[in-house]
Structure 1
Amino acid sequence: MKLTSVTLAAVLIGSTAFAAEVGPKEVKYNDDTAIEMSLTGMAGDPTKGAVIMGTKSKGNCVACHEITALSNAPFQGNVGPILDGAGDRWSAGELRGLVVNAKMMFEGSVMPSFYQVDGFTRPGNAYTGKAGKEPLAPLLSAQEIEDVVAFLTTLKDE
């Protein structure tokens, strides 16, 4: 019996460790434009999510949003809503949907689609001389999306 329990535990742990990552073209939204399931099968790291949101070369969320918890990040924007209390306003699935592709929830949003690889217009070489070639990678990886969602869920109203 003990061997069976150990074997079962190893199988469960092993299957969790090898959960398949959901690719950008495989993302499934529910009727409310939320993405209920993790893109990686793993929990996000809120500390890493905060870094991504405040880093110019990554998410750079503070360019458009004010986030009191990231008060050390310079030049916080006012284009998008203040994200204080985001963890109370939206579920983790709704936050994941917003970060993956905000236009699914808010048509006309200027927020970038951080985990999308097609269905949008990017400037061509005639405009920048540096435009990426197809296929284009998403702006953030699946795990980075999970890290950002983990951080956003910590932002609660006091």
Structure 2
Amino acid sequence: MKLASLTLAAALIGGAAIAAEVGPKDVSFDEYGAVATSLTGMPGDPEAGAVIMATKSKGNCVACHEITALSDAPFQGNVGPMLDGAGDRWSPEELRGLLVNPKKMFEGTVMPAFYRIDGFNRPGDGYTGKAAKGELTPLLSAQEVEDVVAFLSTLKDD
């Protein structure tokens, strides 16, 4: 029994090493802005993705997009396109690219980059008095991006 437990633990640890996370600076985009490779090497959780999209302190996608599947989320916006049918309009690779850095696909978009840490214009302390110090962290983790991609992929036109 102990040997089986140790073997399972070693397999899980080894498996985690294989599924290395892609860092924000290492994301590879195709010529159209899609990201073919999973950021985690693991599938996303659609239920977690729905929570992220409706949570103000996370993705807060409903602030700009209307999503019928998240009708319980208040104050849905109309700045961005309605996301019903997103899984039919965009591939998982395109959805991942839109979340990581949407300007790679739509140059003039106001949608934030959820997995980017550099290349931003930062107002200085003279403007806000609260300018961020040091390196920025992404708005969402690699797994959270994959979770949102998994949820959006379930939104199909009926």
Q: TM-score, normalised by structure 1?
A: 0.88
**Once the two structures are superposed, what CA deviation does each residue of 1:36-95 show, in whole Å capped at 9, x if it has no partner?**
111011111111111111111110101100000011111100000000000000000000
SS of residue in 2 equivalent to 1:130: coil
Alignment of 1:91-130 (within 5 A): 91-130=91-130
Q: Give the Å deviation of 1:15.
A: 4.7
CA distance in 1, matches of 2:122, 2:70: 29
CA distance in 1, matches of 2:57, 2:124: 21
Count of aligned residue pairs for this structure pair:
149
2:20 alignment partner in structure 1: 20
Contact 1:16 1:41 in 2 (8 A): no
CA distance in 2, matches of 1:54, 1:127: 31
Q: Give the Å deviation of 1:32.
A: 2.4
Query: RMSD over aligned Cα, in angstroms?
Result: 1.6
Q: Which amino acid aligns with 1:104?
A: K
1:157 alignment partner in structure 2: 157
CA distance in 1, matches of 2:84, 2:124: 36
What runs of 5+ residues in structure 1 fail to find an aligned partner? Answer: 1-6
| Percent of matched pairs sharing the same residue | 72
SS of residue in 1 equivalent to 2:103: helix
1:45 alignment partner in structure 2: 45
Contact 1:35 1:97 in 2 (8 A): yes
1:73 alignment partner in structure 2: 73
Contact 2:33 2:102 in 1 (8 A): no
Q: Give the Å deviation of 1:30.
A: 1.6
After TM superposition, the runs of 4+ consecutive aligned structure 1 residues lying more than 3 A away are 13-16
CA distance in 1, matches of 2:20, 2:104: 24
**Once the two structures are superposed, what CA deviation does each residue of 1:107-143 show, in whole Å capped at 9, x if it has no partner?**
0100000000111213322232222112110111101
Q: Which amino acid aligns with 2:62?
A: V
SS of residue in 1 equivalent to 2:101: helix
What runs of 5+ residues in structure 2 fail to find an aligned partner? Answer: 1-6
Q: Which amino acid aligns with 2:43?
A: A
